[in-house]
Amino acid sequence: MRKKIVAGNWKMNTDLHEGLELAKAVEEASQGKKRDAIVIIAPPFTHLAKISEVISDVKLSAQNCASEESGAFTGEVSPAMLRSSGAEYVIIGHSERRTYYHEENVVLNRKMRLAVSNGLKPVFCCGEMLEEREAGVLFDVIKEQLKVGLDGLSEKDIANVVIAYEPVWAIGTGVTASPDQAQEMHRFIRDVLEELFGHDVAASTTILYGGSCKPSNAKELFSNPDVDGGLIGGASLKAEDFIQIVNAF
Ligand code: 13P
């Protein structure tokens, strides 16, 4: 059985006070509920340690990590620092990091290796731009992101990796991939994982969909056989909306 996950990526939103309130509201709504899905929140770095004190059912993720272990890298935050601040997961390769901070597949691979070797569970993002979809190269793009990004990871490492498919044209645009488009790409991602790591790994890896996922479309998206949950941006900033998405399972 694959793990179902609903993760909220808060991006660069909320101050510490607002973040704590949001985390508490999500925790309160989650507590004591027997549900299939693991609930994760990914607040900004500055909130992690404090938020880790107010959640227990809800799991904690960072949104990024450094590609180096430690040392003279001003402004960077290492996987070990994240672990010691209470994070269990880390988002790696979000398209906003790829686009605005020019993080390419090779550097993302370094982050992946470092994250797993420090005991973090990476949520590895992949996704094509609209031009790439229109030019018909979407599958090549995703395959390259996976091949390079996951290079050198062992089967044991991959057991702790979550994949998130986030078509760039669907992020923050209100345009959601159709359930068929999501299923088609998730199936393809699973096939690539099978090619790279074998059938068992592919069958047991959680693959999330991200991009304008909201309470009104979550159920339909999550009902696809290869969609194991969602990585939620805007709708994760309101506890009620986020929990409604969690309850779509
Ligand atoms: P939106 O849900 O706001 O489209 O963002 C998706 C996303 O980028 C999650 O990482």
CATH classification at residue 130: 3.20.20.70
Give the residue numbers spanning the domain of 230.
4-246
Which of these is catalytic: 27, 128, 132, 166?
166
Distance CA 153, CA 102 (A): 23
248 vs 35, 91, 240, CA distance in Å? 10, 22, 12
Q: What's the pLDDT at 1?
A: 80
pLDDT digits (tens, 9 = 90+) for 114-130: 999 999 999 999 999 99
Atom of ligand 1 nearest to the CA of 231: 9
Residue nearest to atom 1 of ligand 1 (CA): 233
Tell which atom from ligand 1 comes closest to the C-alpha of 91: 10
65-113: pLDDT as tens digits: 999 999 999 999 999 999 999 999 999 999 999 999 999 999 999 999 9
Count how many residues are written for the chain: 249
Q: Does ligand 1 come within 6 angstroms of the Cβ of 127?
A: no
SS3 212: coil
pTM for the full predicted model: 0.97
> What's the gap between Cα 103 and its chain centre?
16
Nearest to 23 by CA among 62, 63, 58, 49: 58
Nearest 5°: phi and psi at 216? -75, -20
Q: Is the dihedral of CA 204, 205, 211, 214 positive or negative?
A: positive
Give tens-digit pLDDT for 2-61.
999 999 999 999 999 999 999 999 999 988 777 789 999 999 999 999 999 999 999 999
Q: How many domains does the chain have?
A: 1
